[in-house]
Each structure stands twice: as C-alpha cells, then as structure tokens.
Amino acid sequence: MATITPALDTHTHDDHAHGHGHHEQSFISKYVFSTDHKVIGIQFLITTILMLMVGGALALAVRWQLAFPWENMPIIGRLFGLFQTEGGQISPEFYTMLFTMHASVMIFLVIIPVLAGAFGNFLIPLQIGADDMAFPVLNMLSYWFMWPAILCFGISFVAGGATAGPGNGWTSYPVLSDIASAAPGSGAAQTWWLFGLTLVGVSSMMGSVNYMTTIINMRAPGMTLFRMPLTIWSMFITAILQAFALPVLTAAGFMLVFDRLHELLPTSIHSGFFIPSGLVVNNAAPTVGGGQPLLWQHLFWFYSHPAVYIMLLPAMGMVSDMLSCMSRKPVFGYKPMVYSMAAIAGLGFIVWGHHMFTSGMNPALGMTFMTSTMMIALPSAIKVFNWIGTIWDGNIQFNAVFLNCAAFVALFIVGGLSGIFMAAVPVDIYFHDTYFIVAHFHYVLFGATLFGVFAGIQFWFPKMFGRLMSDRVQKVHFVLTFIGMNGTFFPMHLLGIAGMPRRYADPYLHGYLEHLLPMNQFMTISAIVMGCAQFLLLGNFFYSIFRGEKCGRNPWQANGLEWSAPSPPGHGNFDVPPVCYRGPYEYSSPEAEALGQDFILQTSPPPAGVVRTAVAHH
C-alpha cells in the first residue's frame, strides 16, 4: 500500500475502467462463477429479491387463513391440486409449514443475505477503495453455497409429502422438532430444513471472514478507521457478530441432526441431546435419553439474538450514509453512531435469555437478562436521536431514497419502543407468544431493515448498472408499501394486547378472540396491497437495468470513494487508485463551498500545499 503514488486528477472520465492489461473473460466466469465482488453482490441481490417474493407469497397464504379460515385458497389451492382431500382448504399442518417457511425464507434467504451478501459484497471494496475482496474465490463460494441451501429448503417442502413441510417454526424447538412422530413435518422435512440452515451458515461464515479481513487489511491510503463510512462500520461489526455467534448455531444444528439422523438413514448414530427420558409422543414408545430441551433454546438464541442485529445493523449503517447525503449534511455524531453500534453488538451477546422468560429457566437469570435487554434500548435510542439530528436543518432532497430512510427511522422507533414491553419480564409473561411480538419484530425487520434495503437498492443502483431507477415509481412503491405495512402490522399490537396467540391456524375457535376476525380481514387486505406493490419494485429494478436513465459516476453528488469509480466500475473497480483525504460526510463544508458545490469526494485532494504532508503522514 505504501508504494501508491497519489494521482491528483481523480476526475478522469476515462471509459477504460482499468489501466493495467486484462484478458477477456468468458460469460461463465464473468457472470456465473464470478470472483468479482460486484457481480457476486448483484447475484446475491437478485436472488434475495426473488426469495422476497417467495417469502411474501407464503406470508399471504398465512394471512389468507387468518382472515378467511378454512375457506378455499384462491389460485394456489386449485392450481396445484394440493389439498384435494380438504377441498382446497389449507390444512392445519400446512399452516404450520407456511409460517415456518415464511420465517425461514425471509430470515435466512432474504434479510441476512441481502444485507451482508448483496450490499456487503458490493459496497465494502468500493467504499474502502480496494480492488476486490481479500479472498475472491471464498467470496464466490459464499454465494454458491446459498444454492444448496435453497435446494435443501426446497426439498424440505416435499420430502415428507406435499402437505407435510417443516412445521416447527423457524425456532424449531425440540422435542417437537426432534422426534419424527411429533408432527407431520417433523420427519424428513425437518432434517432437510436443518441441512439448509447449516448451509446458509456456511455461506454466511465465508462472507464474514472475508469482510473482516478486507476491511482490516485492504483500505485505501488515508482511509483510517474513523474515516470509514458507517456502512463499512456496520458491515465490520456484523461480520464479527456472525463469526462469533454462528458456530454455536451450527453446533446446535448438528446436535439436532444427530438426534434425528437414525430416522432418515440406517445408522447407529442416535444421540439424545435434547430428548429427556420417558416422553410418550403420539403413542410412540417412551423415549430413552437424558437430554434437556432448554439447551437448544439457549444455543439457538445465543446465535439468533445476535442474528437479529445481523439483520439490522447493516441497514442502520446504510441509512446513515443515505440520510446524510440526502440531507446534504454530515452525520450528526459520527463517533457516537459507531460506539452505539458496537454497544448493540456487545450487549447483543448477553440478552438471548429474553426469548426464554416463560421457558421455566431460573428466575434470577430472567432478572439479569431483563436488565441487559433494557440497556440495549439505549444505543438504539442514541442512534434514533442522531438520525433526527442528521436530518435537522438539512437541505433535504425529497426523493424515494430519502423517504424510505425516513420511514426506516419512523418505523424503527415503533419497533424499538414495543420491545420495551417485552423486555420487562412480568409484562412479557402476558405478551410472550402473542401477536404483540409478531408486530414488534415485523416493525424492526420489515419496517426498519426492508425500508433501508429499498432505499439502498435505489441509491447504489446507478453504481451497479450505470443507470437510475425511476424515482416516481419508487415513490408510488414507497407510499403503497408504507401504508400496507402499517395497515398489516400496527393492528397486530392490538391483537397481542387482546391475547391472540401466534401460530394458531384458527384463533376464532376461542370465544374471546372471535370478534377479532374483521380486524384480521383488514390486515390481510393491507398485506395484499403491500405484496402487490412489490411488483413495482421488481419491475422498476429489471426495467431500469436495461432502460433506465444513464448516469455518470456520481449522480447523487455523494462523497464516498465508490462515487469516484466509473458507473459501473470495471473489474478492479478504480481507474485511478483512490487516496482518501477526509471523512465520508463532509457535505456543505467550507471546503466544499470553496469548490462551489455542497459535497466533496473523499478522494478530492486538499489545496496543493497540504497534499504532501497528508501522504507523508500516511
């Protein structure tokens, strides 16, 4: 790195993307088994957008049953002739599969890979000024391990028969998930589900190692840690979370596989990690063992609670970047933003027990976990205040990128505040496993993360394809999604307060819930509106790849290193090796004004006299 000579003219609009010679690649190595981080990022992005539609369709089927219980399912019921014996209805075991696979697809095949896989891959080298990831082949593998995972999840749909997909929830608590006789979906379907889960983990782990190494070792000259965009900070912290939490889930997954493997293969491997002795499940012979089902919950949540932040932190970082750019203002409190992300990650490791407040674990543990859980609201609050501070008195560009980011903040507030009810153990005892929790995590995962992703797709689209997405279509998409989202999920708070448990195929069997049917119908209609609105995003995305308005290097007049590269950047990213001279958020600074603009690229050198000292200093 030390040998780089600073090129003062970073604004060469040379179409030739790379100075050094480069042989032409075949189609397969360029677009399919590519080691280019940008191609891999776009592969992740397109895969996850398609999986978003799959997960959404599963969610709509869940909503159908809740609004019109036991009525013939439109389209799908007849199309596949799935439920001929039931006359086109959703059967209760199919319902358990629907919500299980909705969560599994959305969490493992959409949210985690879209943040770390798509945006992490695409943005990390570009924003730190590297020509690629540290381990390009490993990077390629991290994408291609997603497909065996998708295949395993796919097999799990049909392995146990068409109507007996995995039905134990995405949390797969044993012993329900551990003994084949416990449920129609607990047989082969559950084993395939576990294989899929493990493969997703392998993919994430390969990404995580790569991100950490790249961010630590491959920053451009002058890109100090505290000159990194918050996106990079968030990706870095997320990668650390992945690296430390994931092995625990993988281990737990294998333990569960070993418990169940004898049901799938003629093998003598038959452990009982999670099975206590003497259980009579569905009139089968009593179990032998000495296992402990709570062990799974501890191991599972030791990963899956940090995973909640894996599903949120990168969006927080990206939104900080975009809010700053669209308000033409520096991020308010850059360092507090970094420290609060680090605090969320650190505390994230010691709050897993709040998922187990009603599980019968030691109440003294409950008190400890309650306090740590309450404290994790603090860095979240600090971030919200700083985002509002970032917008405050800015020169706001009211485009769809900004609106989606503002929605991120507004909806994250709701998700954060509803979390406080559930952090408080006595109150949680009532709300646990009701729709209140369903409302809470959809406000965080949909309201915050997905709105951040919608903004991010539009914001970095020009860098990916050299063209702009239609802002007008994105605004319509924003309004419909925002209204549909609130119409679907806000009433869930009230359902939770009314005591409606989650994962019920027919809550109206219980008299005290009967009157909630009309509200559920309203929510389902909102969800259908929201689901249809996603076709706008899909259409706009694919149309704009080919027909969008062409743009130059820096259509948003942003500061980051990625905007000094061509759009789209060629193999190797930068035509001129970038040198970083300042932080990423110097919008409207006096230095920028001296140039007659309200932004100043991180690569834009200070006046001549200062350059030498800056480089010598490095």
Partner 1 sequence: MKKFWALFFWFWPLVALWLCAVAPANNWWFPSPPLSTLGHQIDGLFYLILIIVTVTFVGTQFALGYALWKGAVKEPSGKAWFSHGSHKLEIIWTIVPAFILVFISLTQLDVLAEIRVLSNFPKEARNAPVAEVMARQFEWRIRYPKPGTQLMTEPRPGDLYYVNEVHVPATQPTMINLRTQDVQHAFFVPRLRVKQDAVPGLIIPVWFEIEKAGEYELLCAELCGWGHYKMKARIIAETPEQVQAYLARLEQEQNDDGVADEQSSQ
In angstroms, the Cα distances linking 384 to 155, 229, 327, 378, 389 are 42, 18, 16, 10, 9
For 433-524, where are the E strands, in sequence order?
A: 467-468
Under the criterion CB under 8 A, does residue 244 sit at the interface with partner 1?
no
**Stretches 82-90, 197-205, 457-465, 514-522: which one binds partner 1 (CB under 8 A)?**
514-522
Name the segment binding partner 1 (CB under 8 A); options: 42-50, 219-227, 508-516, 525-533: 508-516
* Interface with partner 1, residue 499, by CB under 8 A: yes
Q: What tokens were used for 268?
A: 């003598």
Q: How far is the CB of 330 from partner 1 (least distance, A)?
A: 5
Q: Within positions 96 to 115, which residues make up the interface with partner 1, using CB under 8 A?
A: 96
Least distance CB 93 / partner 1 (angstroms) = 4
From the CB of 414, what's the least distance to partner 1, in Å? 7
Sign of CA dihedral 120, 123, 128, 132: positive
Nearer to partner 1, 125 or 419 (CB): 419
Q: How far is the CB of 174 from partner 1 (least distance, A)?
A: 8
Positive or negative torsion for Cα 45, 47, 49, 52: negative
CA of 449: how far to CAs of 404, 405, 410, 446, 509, in Å? 10, 10, 12, 6, 35
| Interface segment toward partner 1; rule CB under 8 A; list 126-134, 233-241, 254-262, 512-520 | 512-520
d(CA 604, CA 222): 12
Count the neighbouring beta carbons within 10 Å of the beta carbon of residue 487: 17
Residues numbered 315 to 354 that lie near partner 1 (CB under 8 A) are: 327-334, 336
Rounded least distance, CB 504 to partner 1, Å = 4
List the interface residues with partner 1, window 361-400 (CB under 8 A): 363-364, 366-367, 370-371, 374-375, 377-378, 381-382, 384-386, 388-389, 391-396, 398
Footprint of partner 1 on 412-441 (CB under 8 A): 413-414, 417-418, 420-421, 424-427, 429-430, 432-434
Find the shortest distance in angstroms from Cβ 535 to partner 1.
Answer: 23
Q: Which positions from 569 through 588 interact with partner 1, judged by CB under 8 A?
A: 585, 587-588
Identify the residue among 506, 539, 595, 612 touching partner 1 (CB under 8 A). Answer: 506
Residue from 49, 55, 93, 211 binding partner 1 (CB under 8 A)? 93
- The answer to the question of residue 516 lying near partner 1 (CB under 8 A) is yes
Torsion, Cα 125 128 129 131, to 10 degrees, reads -20
**Range in contact with partner 1 (rule: CB under 8 A) among 10-18, 88-96, 140-148, 262-270:** 88-96
Tell which one of 39, 103, 109, 175 touches partner 1 (CB under 8 A): 175
Least distance (Å) from partner 1 to the CB of residue 94? Answer: 9
- Residue (162 or 216) nearer to partner 1, CB: 162
Q: Which of 294, 161, 314, 305 is nearest to 234 (CA)?
A: 314
CB of 589 to partner 1, least distance (A): 6
The Cα 117–Cα 114 span in angstroms is 5
CB 110 within 8 A of CB 457: no
Nearer to partner 1, 573 or 588 (CB): 588
d(CA 471, CA 468): 8
Closer by beta carbon to partner 1, 574 or else 599? 599
Stretch that binds partner 1, among 110-118, 206-214, 271-279, 539-547 (CB under 8 A): 271-279
User: Which one among 127, 168, 238, 604 touches partner 1, defined by CB under 8 A?
Assistant: 168
Nearest to 476 by CA among 534, 407, 523: 534
CB 242 within 8 A of CB 177: no
Neighbours of 168 (CB within 10 A): 21
d(CA 204, CA 599): 35
DSSP letter (8 states) at residue 552: -
Residue closer to partner 1 (CB basis): 72 or 358: 358
The residues, ordered by sequence, that sit 6+ positions from 576 with a Cβ below 8 Å of its Cβ are: 7, 9, 10, 12, 19, 564
- Nearest CA to 291 among 171, 177, 165? 177
Interface with partner 1 in residues 584-613 (CB under 8 A): 585, 587-590, 598
Indicate which single residue of 105, 107, 281, 492 sits in contact with partner 1 (rule: CB under 8 A).
281
| Phi–psi pair at 292, nearest 5 degrees | -145, 110
Backbone φ, ψ for residue 524 (5° rounding): -65, -40
The footprint of partner 1 on this chain (CB under 8 A) covers a number of residues equal to 110
CB of 491 to partner 1, least distance (A): 7
Q: Out of 21, 87, 360, 596, which residue is the one contacting partner 1 (CB under 8 A)?
A: 360
